[in-house]
Chain A
Amino acid sequence: DAKTTQPNSMESNEEEPVHLPCNHSTISGTDYIHWYRQLPSQGPEYVIHGLTSNVNNRMASLAIAEDRKSSTLILHRATLRDAAVYYCILTTGTASKLTFGTGTRLQVTL
């Protein structure tokens, strides 16, 4: 499976935008980029996914580089409830077998 690289941790102030980077230099042409997050004491939660174009939903935006070797999850206004571990995952063949890396632990402070 193609590998992703994320920073171990990031910090943000509440109400400020957060940009969570993900490198996936070995991505193949058919790999989708998925983001999930895991809040404390909960199961992972879907955030957003995309293939080539930037994507927006009510939770976040996904900016995908033109060469697709990196992507950025954007939380427009971080709140304390966004404190979680964020996982960037490439789906090769099936999205029902997710390969989780170590993710980025996001801390949000007042």
Chain B
Amino acid sequence: KAGVTQTPRYLIKTRGQQVTLSCSPISGHRSVSWYQQTPGQGLQFLFEYFSETQRNKGNFPGRFSGRQFSNSRSEMNVSTLELGDSALYLCASSLAQGARYQETQYFGPGTRLLVL
């Protein structure tokens, strides 16, 4: 079974631009979560989507948004990019069946975004 894939793997943008990152979950997985990883803040949860609906949200400004499609693929968008948005953006998927507190998350390799 193919793992979680993320595109693009690397991206360079300038301040003020917007960016869209894509995530394809493992086949059959219904939940997709997004995380931001920076050297200063570590790994931080952005949001989770399940059945095309945002189910959980982290503490990020409204410039960060996402969506999920009917095939469970997900995109996240960052508008009006700031220098501090430079980070590794990770996507994780899970089956979303049964007890949610013991589900295993499967992470993709991430998209490294550099904002100049």
Contact = CB atoms under 8 A, between A and B. Distances in A.
On chain B, which size bracket covers the interface? Answer: 20 to 34
A99 B101 CA distance: 12
B104 interface: yes
B101 A32 contact: yes
Interface string B94-116: 10100011111111111000000
Given A32-B101, A43-B92, A49-B102, A94 B42 contact: no
A7 B100 CA distance: 28
Given A95-B94, A95-B100, A46 B105 contact: yes
Nearest to B33: A96
A46 B43 contact: no
A104 B75 CA distance: 31
Interface residues of A, number: 24
B102 A96 contact: no
B105 A93 contact: no
Binding site secondary structure of chain B: strand
Contact of A93 (B33, B101, B107, B110): B101
Binding site secondary structure of chain A: loop
B48 A44 contact: no
B58 interface: yes
A42 B112 CA distance: 11
Contact of A95 (B44, B58, B90, B105): B105
Interface in A43-87: 43-46, 49, 51, 87
B102 A95 contact: yes
Interface of B: 4, 31, 33, 35, 42-45, 48, 50, 55-56, 58, 90, 92, 94, 96, 100-110
Given A96-B50, A96-B105, A100-B35, 4 more contacts: A91-B101, A92-B101, A95-B94, A98-B45
